[in-house]
Structure 1
Amino acid sequence: MQDEKPGRLVDEGPRIGDIDFSGYRMRVPTDRYWSLDYAEREREALWLRIWQVAGRCDEIPEAGDWFEYRLFDQSWILVRGRDGAIRGFVNACRHRGNAFCQGKGHASRFTCPYHNWSYGLDGKLLAVARPDFEGTLEEFVGAKEELGLLEIPVESFAGFVFINPDRNAAPLSEFLGEAVDLMAPYRIEEMIPYGFNVREAIDCNWKVIMDAFQEGYHIQGVHPELVAAMDESQERYRFCGDHSVATAPFGASNLADSSLEEQVAAIHSLPATFPAVADSLPRFDELLEQCRQADGQMPPARDVPLRSLLQRAMRESWETKGLDVSGLTDNQLSDNHFWILFPNFFLTIHAGEGTLIMAFPHESGDPNRCYWHVQNLQWFPPEERAANRTPLTDVPEGEHFPYFLALEQDYVQMQNQQRGLRNKAQPFLTLTRQEVRLAHYHASVASWVEGGEGMR
């Protein structure tokens, strides 16, 4: 039943008019976006202490598969062990600190090329070339036990590998909280990057990216072509600790005064944003045709439950393909749900597909630059995933990847915003009520970086 599904907590969440704003400060200091001092505080108090996505579990499917995750000047190795578990280690030999891995690859053991110390996939020190330790054999064996690779916390959720540079971190489940139950029914772990999978440097602070995808207020200015299909006035919210989710019903009131033909055309335009919707449209058209009256005419638009017909068609389409959507509410089938997993993970998702955007500080430490990683995620039956997987495109510095229209518009706008934020004469930016998620988000930033001083 609908009321037994986790998604109902979002379906029934408050709208803007129901939210108490008295606890929020609606001004954000602009030095958070350009100050070298603030960026250094973020590095130490946030990035080196928090759970963050390092990659996808399916990037390292076999024992011995590994990849490097880099953040600022820090480097870690994520490797699939012989027991199937994914572990993370500091990318530094315990002998003289040499970084022994770069990029990604496959290995039966890790051997440091400097002096040939070698380590197992579980991080244990296996062998030392020409050992000359003083003492007994037992003392040498004891030294080997102490000199394994330094391990960091690694866990997985929704098909993503999460790491925490803080070796004393609380479990990932504690950090994610109820987001685990709310996101699990989408079966994101069964999705793959499809269509585009791009990582690129961009001239803005990483938080500019996160801000841009937490509000629909800019749609009328930056994405006017989306206005007809997105009704931000009906958006609902749920805050889950530092994380949050919002949902904007497709065509709730923007289309209320449109003709039936116009509303149907808007539904048929959805595949421009979510291609898999196209597979459900033939069934949607069949269900729509069943609404035709005995005289051959269609009822008035207000009497045709287009949203329900689309949701039914999508549920049937995904079930036919083999995706289990039984845990999703009807609204989760058709409506975009906008997830933020703090600090840098944004996912627009509905049944079977989504768009993921992650933002990372630039390795140079320059707060006016960052990286974003953009990928489309789509569900395919297991036997079709390998053939449809889109590999990562890592865009070289100075080059640019051409995105689809909405993302290209955001790419340009975010860099324009950073140029404005760097004006030191403007000490803060001002949020509207439609940007409540930004107020919540920056309260979380403040709690990590400033010890709670700031937004709430």
Structure 2
Amino acid sequence: MAQIAPGDWIRNTVPLDELDFDALNLKIPVERYSSLGFQEHERTRVWMIVWQIVGRADELPQAGDWKVYTIFDQSFIIVRGRDEKIRGFVNACRHRGNALCEGKGRAKRFTCPYHLWTFGIDGKLQGVGRPDLVGSIDKDAHGLVEVPVDTFAGFIFLNPDPDAKPLAEALGRSVIDGLSPYKLDEMTPVGMDVREELNCNWKVVMDAFSEGYHIIGVHPELLSVIDLQAGNSRHGVYGDHGMAVSPFEVKNTANCSVEQQVQGVRDLPGTFPTVAEVLPMFEQMVNRYRDAAGELMLPKGVTVRTLLQQATRETLTLKGLDVSGLSDDQMGDSQGWFLFPNFFMTIRAGEATTIMAFPHPDGDPNRCVWHVTAYMWLPTAFRAEHRTDLVEVTEPGTYPYFLALQQDYDQMQRQQVGLRNRGMKHISLIREEASVARFHAVLDRYLADPA
């Protein structure tokens, strides 16, 4: 078999018109967004058995660094061991079940404050309070209960199910091979790392970021740079996960002069801030094709889009990022990746924005918690200086999201108001929302009664 060139797997994805719509349900029951019974079903059939992202590996840089992850009423400790391996444990003392930790920290061991039983960061029982009162005890049988934990692309994944299949198998080869060249594990939160409660179901968030159709109503300013031409998007389907990509360029290039297209690229930082660092190189490349009078004449095979791609590649290479595994399309096109159940990411060469949505800890299906982070690739020497710390929003509506994200923030909570109406029995999806339908199809498969 001939070797596939870097990035060519994207061109092998499926155009929208070729997707099998007969296999998708375009009518989604409304109760799944507001029913306590439905959420409890999700809790047992989804959240307790799937791999889910619980943080970044660089949050735990040293041995003994730990953090607590909670999903519904289940609590886990994630800790980096002295052997550099990150492990996960049920957050409960093996003696009487007392919770060991809250929040995050660094420790050489975990000591239960109830009866002073002590556990190593490897989970093994090291000692008990007043051994003379305890008597003989098998320490090997009383260590912390371990749960599967693994890492990929710099993210920490945890699965509450002790019998879960390996993470690599759950993600699949296509996801691993598709995302690895972006060097996500080397990226740093820059500019935004926010966690906030929202008044909507967690699936409303996943739905919103799985389709671009809402741009016409919610983000009209993006219509100048994102082409919503029917059938223009392409889709990759990888088991439970998926990816969608549309060409990233100034809209209606056939009806715009070359100078108008160049100006469109100059305007991109208003929507995609990181494009700003590429503009100096882009301008240099554009000016190579200007005549003595300053008129821009591009030869056959050279377009404003290809110049932006080349400028992006050279700029990132000069910064020190290895982009050899990425195609020219990946220099500019923004792909939307969805990892079941609750992870969405837009990614371009050198940058990514991730959005995760979790059921609200209080159990109300009409509420959730979202976590939004913007990442950039920076040379090692600059990562600590530019790293953005996590912001936990305590007063709803006070965090200054950028325009498009603020628009989504408002719209998703507005949608939940409508979804709570009992007169609504289902929502109706259109073909452009195929990714939304696929998400619910995967969810339905998990929720189906076992054979």
User: TM-score w.r.t. structure 2 length?
Assistant: 0.95
Once the two structures are superposed, the pairs formed by residues 155-170 of structure 1 within 5 Å of their partners are 155-170=150-165
State whether structure 2 residue 168 is matched by structure 1 residue 173: yes
CA RMSD of aligned residues (A): 1.9
**Aligned residue for 1:37?**
37
Q: Secondary structure of 1:207's partner?
A: helix
Once the two structures are superposed, the pairs formed by residues 260-409 of structure 1 within 5 Å of their partners are 260-293=258-291, 296-299=294-297, 304-396=302-394, 398=396, 400-409=398-407
Determine what percentage of the aligned residue pairs are the same residue. 51
Question: Which structure 2 segments of 5+ residues have no match?
Answer: none
Contact 2:226/2:251 (<8 A) preserved? no
Whole-Å separation in 2 of the counterparts to 1:188 and 1:274: 18
Whole-Å separation in 1 of the counterparts to 2:294 and 2:391: 52
**Aligned residue for 1:251?**
249
1:6 CA displacement: 5.3
1:400 CA displacement: 3.2
Whole-Å separation in 2 of the counterparts to 1:34 and 1:321: 47
Deviates more, 1:302-311 or 1:358-367: 302-311
One-letter identity of the residue aligned with 1:72: F
State whether structure 2 residue 198 is matched by structure 1 residue 186: no
Q: Secondary structure of 1:232's partner?
A: coil
Which of 429, 434, 437 aligns to 2:435? It is 437
Whole-Å separation in 1 of the counterparts to 2:270 and 2:11: 25
1:300 CA displacement: 7.2
Contact 1:11/1:331 (<8 A) preserved? no
One-letter identity of the residue aligned with 1:283: M
Whole-Å separation in 2 of the counterparts to 1:214 and 1:67: 30
State whether structure 2 residue 49 is matched by structure 1 residue 56: no
Q: Secondary structure of 1:78's partner?
A: strand
**Aligned residue for 2:222?**
226
State whether structure 2 residue 205 is matched by structure 1 residue 205: no
Q: Secondary structure of 2:375's partner?
A: strand
Q: Deviations over 1:54-91 (max 9, x none)?
A: 00000000001001111111110110000000000010
Whole-Å separation in 2 of the counterparts to 1:352 and 1:365: 37
Q: Secondary structure of 1:22's partner?
A: helix
Deviates more, 1:289-298 or 1:244-253: 289-298
One-letter identity of the residue aligned with 1:229: V
Q: Secondary structure of 1:110's partner?
A: strand
Contact 1:311/1:334 (<8 A) preserved? yes
One-letter identity of the residue aligned with 1:164: N
One-letter identity of the residue aligned with 1:231: D
**Aligned residue for 2:83?**
83
1:211 CA displacement: 0.3
Deviates more, 1:261-270 or 1:342-351: 261-270
Contact 2:196/2:396 (<8 A) preserved? no
Contact 1:274/1:354 (<8 A) preserved? no
Contact 1:51/1:163 (<8 A) preserved? yes
**Aligned residue for 1:17?**
17
Contact 1:229/1:254 (<8 A) preserved? no
Whole-Å separation in 2 of the counterparts to 1:72 and 1:428: 26
Whole-Å separation in 2 of the counterparts to 1:41 and 1:397: 31
Do the aligned partners of residues 278 and 145 (structure 1) sit closer, same or farther apart at CA in structure 2, a change above 3 Å counting? same
Q: Deviations over 1:398-430 (max 9, x none)?
A: 553121100110011001111111111111111
Contact 2:91/2:99 (<8 A) preserved? yes
Q: Deviations over 1:30-54 (max 9, x none)?
A: 1110010000000000001100000
Whole-Å separation in 1 of the counterparts to 2:219 and 2:117: 55
Do the aligned partners of residues 171 and 403 (structure 1) sit closer, same or farther apart at CA in structure 2, a change above 3 Å counting? same
Contact 1:201/1:397 (<8 A) preserved? no
Contact 2:336/2:347 (<8 A) preserved? yes
Question: Which structure 1 segments of 5+ residues have no match?
Answer: none
Whole-Å separation in 1 of the counterparts to 2:320 and 2:222: 31
Do the aligned partners of residues 319 and 6 (structure 1) sit closer, same or farther apart at CA in structure 2, a change above 3 Å counting? closer
Whole-Å separation in 2 of the counterparts to 1:298 and 1:452: 64
1:293 CA displacement: 4.4
**Aligned residue for 1:114?**
114
Do the aligned partners of residues 452 and 444 (structure 1) sit closer, same or farther apart at CA in structure 2, a change above 3 Å counting? farther
Whole-Å separation in 2 of the counterparts to 1:85 and 1:263: 49
1:18 CA displacement: 2.1
1:119 CA displacement: 0.5
One-letter identity of the residue aligned with 2:354: L
Whole-Å separation in 2 of the counterparts to 1:225 and 1:341: 28
User: TM-score w.r.t. structure 1 length?
Assistant: 0.94
One-letter identity of the residue aligned with 2:145: L
Q: Deviations over 1:300-324 (max 9, x none)?
A: 7997511111111110111100000
1:299 CA displacement: 2.6
1:133 CA displacement: 6.4
**Aligned residue for 1:125?**
125
1:397 CA displacement: 5.3
Q: Secondary structure of 2:361's partner?
A: coil
Deviates more, 1:396-405 or 1:231-240: 396-405
Q: Tell me how many residue pairs correspond in the alignment.
A: 447
One-letter identity of the residue aligned with 2:149: V
Which of 427, 432, 436 aligns to 2:425? It is 427
1:278 CA displacement: 1.6
Whole-Å separation in 1 of the counterparts to 2:441 and 2:301: 44
